[in-house]
Structure 1
Amino acid sequence: MSHFQRLISALLPSCCILCNRSQAATICISCMQQLQEQRRQGQLACLCCGIELLEAVDKSTTPEGQRCRECIVTPPFFDLSFCLASYEGQLKTAVHQLKYQRRLAYATGLAHLWNSLMTLHLDKLPPCYLLPVPLSRQKLAERGFNQCWEIAKHLTLPKHLKVLPHALRRRHSLSNQISAGRQVRQQALNGLFYFEPRYADLLARQTVIVFDDVMTTGSTLNAIAKVLKDHGVYHVRNWVLLRTPRQLTDV
């Protein structure tokens, strides 16, 4: 944190984005400790799509590894998914405050959570690129910001992980994806994302990380991964802030 940021924090105390306790930090110690404990006791999840598994998987005897039945039967185009937490409770409210109430300070707090809880996934990363999920120009003009980029630009990343905020583009769609089921989402996403040609040589045969705020059915991230691999990307993994619980993914 710079001297200027420390001065601002001292003069303008904020609140914890989860419990609203007044303090300088965006996440209080109590909430951070609670989330750390929840991650330690969390249910086993599919390594591919991040959904919680219905039963324990013996990775030593299962050739597919720690994967759900859907990812074994119909493998997605992406290879791995790392999800911070479940899309519920105070974290869900915090994301809504950022996206729909335009409280940009919540992006800093959510990034701080990621920096504190997901450091293990940075240790063995190969040289790679991080791409935030894009909004269409119309949606960006309406909202005023891309929440994925607002969070991603506050992540603490190793030097060999480069951020490319404009490599992915999204065409505008009039359909509402929030309440749509899996099949409807997949159909609506056909041709929605495209890749800036000037990045093709840079990303060919590389590992790419796609950063998203919420993963529901995985259809959006799968459509993006297909576009990336069609342009020569070797490996695609997802970094997702919140993963929708299994009982809500097919709504």
Structure 2
Amino acid sequence: MHCQPEYKGPVYIWSKNKQSCLLCDEASDSLLALCSACQDELPWLGAQCSVCALPLPAVGLTCGQCLQHPRAFQRVIVPWRYDFPLDSLISRFKHQEQWPFGRLMAELFAQFLNFRFDEGLPRPDCLLPVPLSRRRLRQRGFNQADMLARWLGQPLHLTVEPDLLRRVQDTPAQQGLNAQARRRNLSQAFALTASTSVAGRHLALVDDVLTTGATAQALAQLLMGAGARQVDVYCLARTPGAEHRD
């Protein structure tokens, strides 16, 4: 007597699955849903500020803003410029709930970070997604930074602590504000979970796009003030200036 029904059709084998490129729709030549040609065409970030990763004309420089106003975070680690087609992928993930695009970018980012760790970049103790306000979370239905942090945590072998940071003030949108206005907007906007200690820990904030760095600065100041040893920022893309939204 057979315990299972007999089936003579094709069997789905994950290890032999052929992915299609999410950008050009051609068959991918890798295990990712992105072909090598499209991966090479992504707007990889070259020379950048050694602290905030602002695109600069030469390697090894620090931008004027970071020299005049030292940051609370140690460094920003980011693979791409906020430019086509990456800006479209982020927008579709963030605003249209097309999560495969977010998962793809997280997989590529994890490869990039593992390469940097092998080169000597200090590994953090954990990943902290940048929190959303309750209103924005209700509107969007998910926190894109939280999803990115969770997708990064497993391949990087890092823990994710999504509840360590809270957004306690529902501040107005950052779009269209200059750096000074963004800093005022974010003053007292975040808080730590009372039961969680960050003393002596190396922490990495995770977000999708860094613009002026005002959000990262506010969170890093909070964490360093609570005794953190170091705060880094991990994000998918860096804008060339303040014309895009954090």
Out of 45, 48, 52, the position equivalent to 1:45 is 48
| Distance in structure 2 (CA, Å) of the matches to 1:167 and 1:212 | 15
Matching residue of 2:203: 208
Matching residue of 1:16: 21
Out of 146, 158, 170, the position equivalent to 1:149 is 146
State, as a whole percentage, how many aligned pairs show the same letter.
28
Shift of 1:44: 1.4
Q: Moved runs in structure 1, 4+ residues, more than 6 A?
A: none
Contact 1:130–1:164 under 8 Å retained in 2: yes
C-alpha distance 56-209 of structure 1, shift in aligned 2 (>3 A): closer
Matching residue of 1:62: none
Is 1:170 aligned with 2:170? no
| Distance in structure 1 (CA, Å) of the matches to 2:195 and 2:156 | 24
Shift of 1:87: 0.6
Shift of 1:20: 4.2
Matching residue of 2:88: 93
Once superposed, what is the RMSD of the aligned Cα atoms? 2.6
Q: As a proportion of its length, which structure holds more helix? A: 1
> SS state of the match for residue 41, structure 2?
helix
**So what's the TM-score if we normalise by structure 2?**
0.83
Larger gyration radius, structure 1 or structure 2: 2
Q: Which amino acid aligns with 1:31?
A: C
Matching residue of 2:5: none
| Distance in structure 2 (CA, Å) of the matches to 1:25 and 1:157 | 14
| Distance in structure 2 (CA, Å) of the matches to 1:249 and 1:67 | 21
What stretches of structure 1 of length at least 5 have no aligned partner? 58-65
Contact 1:215–1:240 under 8 Å retained in 2: yes
Deviation string for 1:182-218 (max 9, x for gaps)? 1111110001111112111xx2111100011000100
| Distance in structure 2 (CA, Å) of the matches to 1:95 and 1:249 | 13
Is 1:230 aligned with 2:225? yes
**So what's the TM-score if we normalise by structure 1?**
0.81
> SS state of the match for residue 122, structure 1?
helix
C-alpha distance 232-33 of structure 1, shift in aligned 2 (>3 A): same
Shift of 1:241: 0.5
Matching residue of 1:240: 235
C-alpha distance 112-75 of structure 1, shift in aligned 2 (>3 A): same
Matching residue of 1:136: 133
Shift of 1:93: 0.1
After the TM superposition, which of the residue ranges 130-139 and 207-216 deviates more from structure 2? 130-139
Q: Which amino acid aligns with 2:23?
A: L
What stretches of structure 2 of length at least 5 have no aligned partner? 1-11
